[in-house]
Structure 1
Amino acid sequence: MNEKRMLYSDCIRIYEVEETFIDSLGELGLVRLSGDGDDRFVEYDELELLEQFIRWHNDMDINVEGIEALHHMLMRVKLLQAEIDSLKNELQFYRSLI
């Protein structure tokens, strides 16, 4: 097994989720799955995000479509926050010239 990925079947067993849940996340592009058939994998760098989606699903009873919407909104907020930080830095620079 590659050091940078986990067997799909191990992921299902460890996280105790249904295949359809992870498949749906993969189809929506929320989690990157690789391989096919019995040799499917989840990349290790995707596991933190997958764990977050599993918590949203189990703890807050959010379906896959809701997870997609929530994830999209959070990514948008992060981008906007980065833009705000950049503009604050630019404003601070111009204020320092006065």
Structure 2
Amino acid sequence: MSGNRLLYSECLRIYEVEESFIESLRDVGLIHVIDQDDDRFIEYDDLSDLEQFIRWHYEMDINVAGIDALRHMLDRVRSLQSEIERLVGELRFYKSLQQ
């Protein structure tokens, strides 16, 4: 391991996943693989997402395209939830001015 990165080969061993799966995730931009010198690494910041993608793929049989779509949809839901919270706050503010 190096700093805040996990050696690519260790990632494959620890999570017991196929290299082609990780490469597919990388190809669509869901995780980042860093090439440094003769080694490859995955950032620790990507590991929680990777664990979720592994569960979706191996436990729920969702392919990489489906994972990409789910990830996009969840990001959109989170964004909309934040917008709703902001709007509710504004609504409360304006209601408090009327009273």
TM class, shorter-length: over 0.9
TM-score normalised by L of structure 2? 0.94
RMSD of aligned alpha carbons: 1.3
Separation of aligned partners in 2, 1:62 and 1:36: 31
What is aligned with 2:55? 55
Using the TM superposition, give the Cα deviation of residue 3 of structure 1 relative to its aligned residue in structure 2, in angstroms: 1.7
Deviations 1:38-83, CA, capped at 9 Å, x for gaps: 5110000100000000000011000001000010000000001100
Equivalent residue for 1:19? 19
**Within 5 Å, which residues of 2 pair with 1:74-93?**
74-93=74-93
Paired positions, count: 98
Cα distance in 2 for partners of 1:37, 1:20 equals 22
> Which position in structure 1 is the counterpart of 2:73?
73
Identity of aligned residues (%): 61
Q: Any stretches of 5+ residues in structure 1 without a counterpart?
A: none
Q: Which residue of 2 aligns with 1:29?
A: 29
Give the letter aligned to residue 60 of structure 1.
M
Q: Deviations over 1:4-28 (max 9, x none)?
A: 0000000000000000100110111
Residue 42 of structure 2 aligns to a residue in which SS?
strand
Opposite residue 57 of structure 2, the aligned amino acid is H
Runs of 4+ in structure 1 deviating by more than 2 angstroms, as ranges, are none
> How has the CA–CA distance of structure 1 residues 38 and 62 changed in structure 2, closer, same or farther, with 3 Å as cutoff?
farther
The normalised TM-score by structure 1 is 0.95
Change (3 A) 1:11 1:71: same
**Aligned partners of 1:71, 1:36: CA distance in 2, in Å?**
28
